[in-house]
């Protein structure tokens, strides 16, 4: 059973998804299951209109028998009304019960191992790289911020510093074009390797670690100068520069 959809298959799927009901559509792909065709069609966002029922405002859960609003049911692309027949609470209870079974965990890890052994390591590496490239293309700054957060987390672990921040801490990162410390430095969000003008996460007070209110994004140059010397040393250096300023100019 092939994993990846070929270009030819996708073309056929795109052309016929809105014209044929699911059962006839699945016949065009004898290699694949009906459910696999349905999922791919759903992911492409194409619908066969006569198959869709108007979405009800509420329905009765087949499990607990309680009538609940439609948002309390998970989405399901194979159901005519687009939702599961059991409610989210019942679904969660069922899944939790399922994973309590020790046999399930074992079977799952055996399956994962088999899947990983079925392909060369390069295949998975390439797949991960492809995902990264797409995320980078889609939203460069968010990609970079997440990368910085991951690195900060591992630094915090190594240095035994507290780490309790998320993307939410950097609300203005999309508008942050210049280094707040050195306003003449334009931050480059797409540097492949770290350079003076790369954005980096700074701990305002070093020892407090990565906690809310103590982090900001500054250029790597500013960050490096900060971390190479104490505040008192930087002030002394500035004073020294100031004394010699007439010679510089």
Q: State the residues that interact with Zn ion by CB under 5 A.
A: 61, 63-64, 87, 90
CB of 61 to Zn ion, least distance (A): 3
CB of 59 to Zn ion, least distance (A): 10
Residues counted in the chain: 249
Residues near 87 by beta carbon (within 8 Å), at least 6 away in sequence:
61, 63, 64, 66, 68, 72, 73
In whole angstroms, give the CA distance from residue 18 to residue 143.
35
CB of 65 to Zn ion, least distance (A): 7
CB of 67 to Zn ion, least distance (A): 10
Nearer to Zn ion, 61 or 156 (CB): 61
Q: Using CA atoms in the order 9, 77, 18, 138, what is the torsion angle rounded to 10 degrees?
A: -70
Angle formed by the axes of helices 88-100 and 102-117, nearest 10°: 80
CB of 55 to Zn ion, least distance (A): 18
Query: How many CB atoms are located within 10 Å of the residue 86 CB?
Result: 17
Nearer to Zn ion, 71 or 177 (CB): 71
DSSP state of 56: P
End-to-end Cα separation, the chain, in angstroms: 74
Residues near 141 by beta carbon (within 8 Å), at least 6 away in sequence:
173, 174, 189
Structure tokens at 72: 């309390």
Nearer to Zn ion, 93 or 161 (CB): 93
Nearer to Zn ion, 37 or 87 (CB): 87
Nearer to Zn ion, 89 or 206 (CB): 89
Nearer to Zn ion, 61 or 218 (CB): 61
In whole angstroms, give the CA distance from residue 173 to residue 165.
14
Nearer to Zn ion, 63 or 81 (CB): 63
Q: ∠ at Cα 92 (91, 96), nearest 5°?
A: 120
CB of 38 to Zn ion, least distance (A): 24
CB of 64 to Zn ion, least distance (A): 3
């Amino acid at each position: 059973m092939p994993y990846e959809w070929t270009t030819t298959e996708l073309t056929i799927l795109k052309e016929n998804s809105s014209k044929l009901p699911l059962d006839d559509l699945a016949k065009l792909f004898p290699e694949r299951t009906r459910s696999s065709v349905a999922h791919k069609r759903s992911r492409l966002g194409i619908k066969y209109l006569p198959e869709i029922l108007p979405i009800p405002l509420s329905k009765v859960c087949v499990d607990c028998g309680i009538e609940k609003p439609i948002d309390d049911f998970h989405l399901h692309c194979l159901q005519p009304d687009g939702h599961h027949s059991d409610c989210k609470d019942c679904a969660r209870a069922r899944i939790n019960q399922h994973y309590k079974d020790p046999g399930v965990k074992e079977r799952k890890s055996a399956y994962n191992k088999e899947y990983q052994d079925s392909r060369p390591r390069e295949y998975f590496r390439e797949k991960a790289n492809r995902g990264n490239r797409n995320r980078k293309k889609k939203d460069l700054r968010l990609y970079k911020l997440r990368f910085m957060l991951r690195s900060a987390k591992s630094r915090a672990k190594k240095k035994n510093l507290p780490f309790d921040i998320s993307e939410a801490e950097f609300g203005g990162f999309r508008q942050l074009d210049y280094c707040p410390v050195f306003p003449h430095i334009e931050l480059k969000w797409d540097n492949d390797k770290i350079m003076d003008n790369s954005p980096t996460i700074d701990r305002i007070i070093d020892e407090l670690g990565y906690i809310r209110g103590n982090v900001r994004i500054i250029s790597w140059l500013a960050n490096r100068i900060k971390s190479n010397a104490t505040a008192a040393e930087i002030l002394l250096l500035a004073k020294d520069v100031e004394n010699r300023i007439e010679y510089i100019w």
